[in-house]
Every structure is written in C-alpha cells, then in structure tokens.
C-alpha cells in the first residue's frame, strides 16, 4: 500500500449546479488529496455563504477529512483500516472486495463543508481525501454548492 | 443474523418540509433498503436542484450507503461490525445494547444526497440502508429536501 | 479516561451566517455534550425550516450523535474506539497521536440536523457530542444554519 496524494485534475462541469471531478487512483488502497479541486469548484460557484456537499457515487471508496501536512497520517489511517477489516476473511460476497465495501461504509460517502465569504471553511491542518479501497480505478467525485440565507 | 432488505412502506407526510418514513425491522441486526422510499420523498418534494438529507432519530441504529445488488455485501458489513464490536463485552451501560450504540456512531445518523433534475443522485450500485443494530423495532427515518441555487 | 459531558459555554457569533462555539476539553479522550450550544445557535438563527450543519475544524477530534441520558453509553463508545485503535501501535506519524487522527476519521467531522418550526430535530435520546481524542485542548465547533424551501 502506498499513500498517493495526487491532486485530482480534470474538472468537467456537468451543469450549473453539480460538478463532477474525475480522480485517477493508482493503488488498491490509497488516499487522494482532492482539497484543491473541491475548493476550486466551491469558489467558481460564486456562492458567498452556504454549504458545499461532496459525494462519491461508489460502493468501494469513501471520503474523509484529515491532516494533509504529514503523509504519514493518512498512511496510518489506511493501515489501521486494513488491520481492522482484513482483505481476506470469512466473507460471503464473492468478488473479493468485501473489505473495500466495509471500509467505504466506515468512512462514509458524503461530506458537508461550510462556505463563508466565497471560500471553503476548513481547519488549518484539514484536507479532503478520496479514500480508495479497491483501486486502481477512475473515480468520480460530485460537488454541489448551495446558497445559505 | 439475517439481512432483510424489505422496502419501507408507510410514508406519512408530517408537513410540507419534513417527511417521516416508518421502517419495521425484524431481526436484532439487519440492513433495510430504504432507497425507494427516500427517492419517492425526494421526487414528491418537487425540488429540481438541491439536497436531500436523511436522518434517523435513534441511538441504536444508523444509516449507510452501499451496494444493494448482492445482499452478501451488507451481510458482510454487518458481520464485520459484529466482530469489531462484539455484543458481549466489558461494557458499563447496563441495558445490554452497548454494541448497538457503538455501531450506530460508527455508521452515523445522517446522509446528504444531491438532487438533480428532480432525482436523487446515486451511483449505479448504491442503495440507502437503515442499519438496525438493536431490533426488532419500528424505526423512523426523517427526510428533508432543500432547494439549491 | 473519563467521560466529561460539560456543556460548552462561550458562544461568539462570528458573523450572521456562521457561529463558532469554543469547547474546552479536560482529558486526552472524552465526549463533550454540545447539544444545548448547537440548539441555541439554531434557535437564534431565526430559521423556521432548514438545515443545521455542525463542523469541527480539527484532525484529532470528531463529532457524533448518541445517547446523552446514561453517561455510560459514551464511555462505552470511547473505550471501544480505544480498543479498536490503540494509542500505541506500529504508526509512522511521529507525533504520538495517530490513534486520534484515525478515530476522528471514524467518527467524522460534520453533522447535518433538520430544523423544523425553529427547532433542531433530534430523537428523544439523542445528544450531540464533540469527540475529543487528543486533549486536553480548546476546540472550536462551527455551526451554520440554512433556510429550506
């Protein structure tokens, strides 16, 4: 397992309300830092105050927020999730990726972040990660911003 | 443990903003597929673009998104959560359902899904599940859709 | 480990859309009941129907909903998270708090709660907790309410 934290690159606007970001993963298990892509979408929405919702339409990957300064942090998270939910176990699902399905339900498929003065409100050390549990694949991240008030 | 995936049936509109869906569970631990009920509420809201929030007002059940094609997937998730958090342990809470409280905090109590063109935006293999950890009971699921823009 | 459930006290309105609640923690690991502070912010927003989003801008604490009647419940959740993710393990991150980073990704950093008739919609037994995994510290909780319709 390697922790790749490449920035997702291709952003294709689907329509004026929902953006789809394509994220290429390179390992079976890795966390990809998508903070910049999400922040770009949020800023281009033109919304000053509101919410930014991030959603992955998959069942073997997830989303999380954690430290993106020291890459050892997400490496520790991944290793621990692999220890708690081993790849090979007494699973009924025959596709060999039950661990990935379970890990995706443990991290979750959506995040909600506050938008203030046109910017995503994150803590100093926080980054947004796509959690790949059954790669390598091309994943999608859906981003939708909504105006408050 | 059996994985029952009955569709929740009774939808009673509380008022124009929040819907309550009643879900009957039949085992101590089971995942119930509530995708159709949530999609129905979302479509009947008449909202084209926005968010759909799903919330369970309980402390011994949760919500998750995962594959609803092969029932072995949610069975594997449940079995693994039971292994990680055993029913009988060195717990202080004397009601005998500490495992259920812990599992509910691990899956979470709310989900946020994007609404686009009047439809819930889910991935091809994604379904929405109520995670019963201390049934059988009659549970409630609260659904609230909000307009974007 | 002790389970302190003090009510967060100091609420300083940042501006008209996002509130910051300061929460002082007193143990390395503890759950702090912040239900009253969140409800106060929600009610003072003047919003009748909508959503209340709660977010922690940290990477070693989280948020959860669970029972706030018997303090043994959150004590059991904390103890179990400590068993699943031990403080001392084969971690790469050298700050000695990898367990806290992992536990924060397991509980999550945001919650979404429905607002109805000007009140936070929670179940009878539900409380909102800040999950401190690497205290004692002064933490922030960000609260943003958004109008539905």
A16-39: pLDDT as tens digits: 578 999 999 999 999 999 999 999
Task: Specify if C3 maps to a domain.
Answer: no
| Structural tokens at position B101 | 């409280």
Q: Is residue A98 part of a domain?
A: yes
d(CA C75, CA C93): 27
Asked if pLDDT for residue C8 goes beyond 70, the answer is: no
Do residues C20 and C12 make contact, with C-beta atoms less than 8 angstroms apart? yes
Phi, psi of C81 (to 5 degrees): -60, -35
The tens digit of pLDDT for each residue in C84-110 reads 999 999 999 999 999 999 999 999 999
Tokens linked to A91: 């699973």
Model confidence at C3: pLDDT above 60: no
Domain with B135, as residue range(s), is 18-147
In a domain, B113, yes or no: yes
Q: Look at chain A and report how many structural domains it folds into.
A: 1
Is residue B43 a part of any domain in this protein? yes
d(CA C50, CA B144): 8
A50, A79, A123: residue with CB nearest C146: A50
Alpha-carbon separation of residue B124 from A58, A92, A135, A136 (angstroms): 8, 21, 17, 19
Who among B53, B102, B109 is closest to C80 (CB)? Answer: B102
3 state SS of A8: coil
Q: Within an 8 Å CB–CB cutoff, is residue C137 touching chain A? A: no
B7 within domain boundaries: no
The whole-angstrom separation of Cα C103 and Cα C135 is 13
C9 located within any domain: no
Q: Can you name the residues that pair with B62 across neighbouring β-strands? A: B131
Q: Return the partners of chain B (3 or more C-beta pairs < 8 Å).
A: A, C
**Which of A77, A126, A146 has the CB atom closest to C102's CB atom?**
A77
Q: Chain A, 18-47: which have a CB under 8 Å from a chain C CB?
A: none
Among candidates C13, C60, C30, which has minimal Cα distance to A126?
C60
Please say whether the beta carbons of B62 and B56 come within 8 A. Answer: yes
| Whole-structure pTM value | 0.90
**Cβ of A98 under 8 Å from any chain B Cβ?**
yes
Answer whether residue B3 shows pLDDT above 60: no
Answer whether A70 sits within 8 Å of C93, measured CB to CB. Answer: yes
Q: Do A45 and A57 form a contact (C-beta atoms < 8 A)? A: no
CATH code, domain with C85: 2.60.120.460
Residue B13 counted as domain residue: no
Q: Is there a contact between B148 and A17 (Cβ–Cβ < 8 Å)?
A: yes
* pLDDT greater than 80 at residue B11: no
Secondary structure of residue C73 in the 3-state scheme: helix
Average of per-residue pLDDT across C47-57: 96
Rounded mean pLDDT, A120-127: 98
Q: Within a domain: residue A10?
A: no
Q: Are A147 and B148 in contact (CB under 8 A)?
A: yes
Q: How close is the nearest chain B Cα to the Cα of C76, in Å?
A: 6
Q: Give the three-class secondary structure for C81.
A: helix
Rounded Cα–Cα distance for residues B118 and B123 (Å)? 16
Chain B residue closest in CA terms to A90: B76
């Amino acid at each position: 397992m390697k922790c790749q934290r490449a920035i997702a690159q291709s952003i294709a606007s689907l329509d004026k309300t929902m953006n789809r970001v394509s994220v290429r993963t390179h390992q079976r298990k890795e966390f990809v830092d998508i903070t910049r892509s999400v922040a770009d979408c949020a800023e281009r929405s033109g919304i000053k105050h509101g919410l930014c919702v991030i959603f992955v339409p998959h069942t073997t990957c997830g989303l999380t927020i954690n430290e993106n300064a020291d890459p050892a942090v997400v490496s520790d998270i991944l290793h621990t999730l692999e220890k708690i939910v081993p790849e090979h176990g007494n699973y009924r699902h025959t596709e060999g990726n039950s661990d990935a399905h379970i890990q995706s339900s443990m991290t979750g498929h959506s995040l909600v972040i506050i938008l203030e003065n046109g910017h995503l409100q994150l803590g100093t050390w926080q980054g947004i990660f796509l959690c790949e549990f059954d790669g390598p694949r091309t994943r999608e991240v859906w981003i939708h911003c909504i105006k408050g008030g």
